[in-house]
Chain A
């Protein structure tokens, strides 16, 4: 158990819909990262937050957005869903977001878009 929690574990929805994935970082970690894992693209970095502020952006689509709240939990919002958005979405956290920090991954949310 990494100490990072993600809900829900599974999510099945239809194209065009909007979903919210939630992540609670490890106690004391200020930085949260979101990754997408699909069979063809592998693990892709989406976005990073540090203490409530966006710090780095990766391959995140405009239809996706995220935020980190004052209690440090984070949400990833996916809208206008397409079949190709079906993937595992992981949240990771680290102490202060430095690139040498160890990132601890949550168990992931499996999103299926039908």
Chain B
């Protein structure tokens, strides 16, 4: 089945630093979604990407839909303590599918 591989698995950064994480797949995805999960909460959608090459921003967050349709990147600029959490990439299992496949997540820790 389709699997999403996220890297890095975890990262520790200083407050104010920029962060970059990515998600790759051996299969083509037509939609890439980035979610953030805070401790004790459910995932929250940050950014949705629907077209290859698309670059979308949401405040300090920027995500890109890879040209090959097999990868996506999420960048966070000028990190702050509340950026702490687990970031997941996700995409529909197949064309027109309602099922989301999630990556295993990147756990971000921000050192004040």
- Do the two chains belong together in a single complex? yes
Binding site for B on A (CB under 8 A): 2, 4, 31, 33, 42-45, 48, 55-56, 58, 90, 92, 97-100, 102-108
Complex CA–CA separation, A61 to B22 (angstroms) = 31
Nearest-CB residue, chain B, relative to A55: B98
27 contacts between A and B (CB under 8 A): A2-B42, A2-B44, A4-B42, A31-B98, A33-B98, A42-B102, A43-B90, A45-B100, A55-B98, A56-B98, A56-B99, A58-B99, A90-B42, A90-B43, A92-B42, A99-B92, A99-B97, A99-B98, A100-B50, A102-B45, A102-B48, A103-B45, A105-B42, A106-B42, A107-B40, A107-B41, A108-B42
Task: Check B44 against A105 for contact (C-beta < 8 Å).
Answer: yes
Residue contact B99 to A43, C-beta cutoff 8 Å: no
In the complex, the answer to whether B100 meets A103 with C-beta atoms within 8 Å is yes
- Tell me what chain B mostly uses at the interface: helix, strand, loop, or mixed: loop
Q: Cβ of B104: which chain A residues have Cβ within 8 Å of it?
A: 42
B112 interfacial by beta-carbon distance below 8 Å: no
- The minimal Cβ–Cβ distance linking B21 to chain A, given in whole angstroms, is 15
* Contact A43–B45 (Cβ < 8 Å): no
B75 adjacent to chain A (CB < 8 Å): no
- Give Cα distance in the complex from A103 to B42, angstroms: 11
Find the B residue at minimum CB distance from A102.
Answer: B45
**Cα-based distance from A100 to B50 in the complex (angstroms):** 9
